[in-house]
A and B are shown apart, each in its own frame.
Chain A
Amino acid sequence: MIIELGHFAMVLTLGLAVLTALFGISAGRGPFAAGLRSVPSLVVGQLVFTALAFATLAHAFLEDDFSVRYVAENSNTLLPEIYKFTAVWGGHEGSFLLWALIMTVWMCAVTLRGGHLPERFRAQVLGVMGLMNVGFVAFLLFTSNPFERLVPFTPSDGSDLNPLLQDFGMIIHPPMLYVGYVGFSVAFAFAIAALLSGRLDAAWARWSRPWTNAAWGFLTLGIALGSWWAYYELGWGGWWFWDPVENASFMPWLIGTALVHSLAATEKRGVFKSWTLLLAIAAFSLSLLGGFIVRSGVLTSVHAFAVDPERGAFILIFLMIVVGGSLLLYAVRAWQLAGRATFEPSSRDFFLLINNVLFTVALVVVLAGTLAPIVYEAITGGKISVGKPYFDMIFVPLMLLLAAALAVSPPLNWKRTGFARIRARLGIATASAVVISLAAFLFIESEVPWQSLAALALAIWVVAGHVQDLVLRVRGSRLPGLAYWGMFAAHLGFAVSLTGVALTVALTEERDLVMSPGQVVEHGGWQVTFEGMSSVRGPNYIAERGTFRVAQNGANLMLTPEKRRYSSGGSIMTEAAIDPGLFRDLYISLGDPLDGESRAVRLHFKPFVRWIWFGALLMTLGGFVAVLDRRYRRVKSPAVQAVPEPAS
């Protein structure tokens, strides 16, 4: 019966979400005026009931209740307890329940932390979020119900969680992505509320910024975790594949990054106002696209639609309403909010514009590359694939341009900057960057492509410029606020990731080879000895384990990659063995057995690969630190006393 309770709780959530939308958006006017005061309690109610529903599903998993179809499809009696719990969001239906839960948590956060917002404005923000939640919960209940029973044919055991998902990285990666995706709904709701109320000023931008930064931070973390997971779990050492699923999470990140920057300009200078609104709408729309479409499989093929017409139709209609509706509102209202300020090309404003143009171009490129195969298939019936070469060709120059713009930016003032100041402030950083780069180039012995050298030099320049700026500020009268430190960490993170990408791409040594026991090979300066194979038994799998001794200058370590066969379903998984290091990873994975005792083996030597994720962590940290800046917590900005009247 418990699972029916969960189902019922979600139905209640749907009702509460409808009321939140109704009362919130009308914001104390019209026939629903009386509902304004109840909006916060409605939000809390949604959180409570969604959490209850989530708990009942988790309970069904832990109790092995295979009469619930979703449990039967995604769990198994042999599955370790922890994976039974995480299997709750291992499949399509459950992941949307998690999505809805996260949505209610964000709404609750806005309710609690938004005390300084004018009541009606906050109600409108929550109303817009409530409206989105109506869509999410309706999608869950009507097309992807995780609470459905399998009666009378209750299976005696479940069909197991996909082994790829039985892993730490995969447990936290999707939730982080969702927190990011759904988090952009706050920025989106702020934008819609601004359009509805006709209010878009510095205070508005200051309210939006911490929410946007937080969502962006989570999304960055989610993407980095996904990349890290793919690296160690898929067994062939890649960290980014440009596949549609990854692109779907990368697109909102690109636009979200542009949004974070344009919000800064909107707050400080009142420029890019309508553009900022557009970015907020786009970031959330792309998040919906990412979250919904990936899970429903549509991105891979149009045929996913034919397989599941209800889900596909629901997603398309919902997206059309959200995107079309907000763009219509934008078309009708945004002109009243447009900014009037001007600036020089030597200003920080202008460089934020460059940032926005580059990130938007990047978005268009990824979007086109991701959708091209789908459109081509829909129109001609043929199949094409757009892969790494396309993205590499375009992304490398774009990122180099971006890094160059970033390197020049630290000394820039808002509005305009004198060239004397730029020359004075940039001189030391540039000179030191040139010296360090040259030294680094001499140190690198192997053949390195020019793109990597350029990226490395630019990364050093970015760091030098930012460090110089920091030193000047710290030496100055007062210490910079947390928002500055956040920016500093995020930009540093960008440089670190750029370095990691440049060096990994240039210096990786990888090799597929045949090894027999006792054989020694040289790889990346290490002696790798294949000692032999053994058999081990895990909780729900049997593995063949290879033992490799790896040695360099007296240092000695053992690596034990595995090939696992999972008992239910018989899926085979390659578990790579990795010796991680700050400056290099050693990566071994097993292939198939060959004649006698010999074995196909894949060896990777990957310098600086960890820097890619380390940089992303720094960016995440930067996003979070910036949220904590005192400016965002200050209660009631002086400009905000009265309720803004609607503009028309």
Chain B
Amino acid sequence: MNRASFFVPLAAFVVIVIIGFAGFQLGDKSVLPSPLIGKPFPAFEAPLLENASDVRDENDLKGRPLLVNVWATWCPTCKAEHEMLMKIRATSSLEIVGVNYKDQRNQALAWLARYGNPYSFNLFDADGQIGIELGVYGAPETFLLNEQGEIVYKRVGDVNERIWAEEIQPRLKEMRGGGV
């Protein structure tokens, strides 16, 4: 047989890998740049999860760097992510604000009571209005905001050790002028 024909399986494999790689690049929405980056957090008005009569708006997100985390009790990844958020809360001074997305109030409160509450407060987004403004594609999604309330970084999927160490912490440092 022809010597070159022995390269056919390798070539086929390489082609499959390239197609697959291209496909996943296209489909991997977690790396798509969000049009929101660099823009101020969209205007909203929403009640607190903890207290329906207390209504907050975008101005409550200004004044300090913040992590805005979109979560829901129906979202399995949120459960996995929760522990990391607890850890961030315990080990850093970064404040986390929750957006409880298309959820039910009593279930969400029960969840926080059971697994712990890493959030300084939670916006209750029952109809997904904030989610639409933010272009939320699925929970969990997390936004890093600077002191002016502008979105600096967006993460689709869970925040884990790697994201925290490689994506969020460096940006936070930069924001705080390298120090603190």
Contact = CB atoms under 8 A, between A and B. Distances in A.
Q: A contacts B directly in the complex (CB < 8 Å)?
A: yes
A278 B29 CA distance: 36
B6 A381 contact: no
A327 B13 CA distance: 8
Interface in A295-335: 302-303, 305-307, 309-310, 320, 323-324, 327-328, 330-332, 334-335
B26 A324 contact: no
B156 A306 contact: yes
Those 5 A-B pairs whose CB atoms lie nearest each other, nearest first: A378-B27, A378-B23, A327-B10, A306-B157, A331-B7
Contact of B162 (A307, A309, A327): A309
Contacts of B17: 320, 324
A379 B13 contact: no
B10 A324 contact: yes
A379 B27 CA distance: 6
Interface in A153-186: 153
B26 A306 contact: no
B9 A327 contact: yes
Interface in A266-291: 274, 278
Interface of B: 1, 3, 6-7, 9-10, 13-14, 17, 19-20, 23-24, 26-30, 77, 80, 83, 86, 116, 138, 156-158, 160, 162
A330 B8 CA distance: 10
Nearest to A334: B6
A335 B3 CA distance: 6
Contacts of A327: 9-10, 13
Contacts of A303: 138, 157
A139 B80 CA distance: 20
B22 to A, nearest CB: 8
A375 interface: yes
A378 B158 contact: no
Interface string A517-531: 000000000000000
Contacts of A510: none
16 contacts: A274-B6, A303-B157, A306-B28, A307-B80, A309-B157, A310-B162, A324-B17, A327-B13, A331-B9, A331-B10, A332-B6, A375-B19, A375-B23, A377-B27, A378-B23, A379-B23
Contacts of A375: 19-20, 23
Contacts of B162: 309-310
A431 to B, nearest CB: 42
A320 to B, nearest CB: 6
Contact of B27 (A302, A323, A331): A302
Nearest to B7: A331
Contacts of A440: none
B116 A153 contact: yes
Nearest to B140: A307
A310 B29 CA distance: 16
A338 B23 CA distance: 36
B19 to A, nearest CB: 8
A335 B6 contact: yes
A642 B15 CA distance: 41
Contacts of A302: 24, 27-28
Contacts of A323: 13
A335 B8 CA distance: 12
A276 to B, nearest CB: 13
B14 A324 contact: yes
A195 B73 CA distance: 54
Nearest to B90: A152
Given A274-B6, A307-B157, A307-B158, A378 B13 contact: no
B162 to A, nearest CB: 7
Contacts of B6: 274, 330-332, 334-335
A330 B138 CA distance: 44
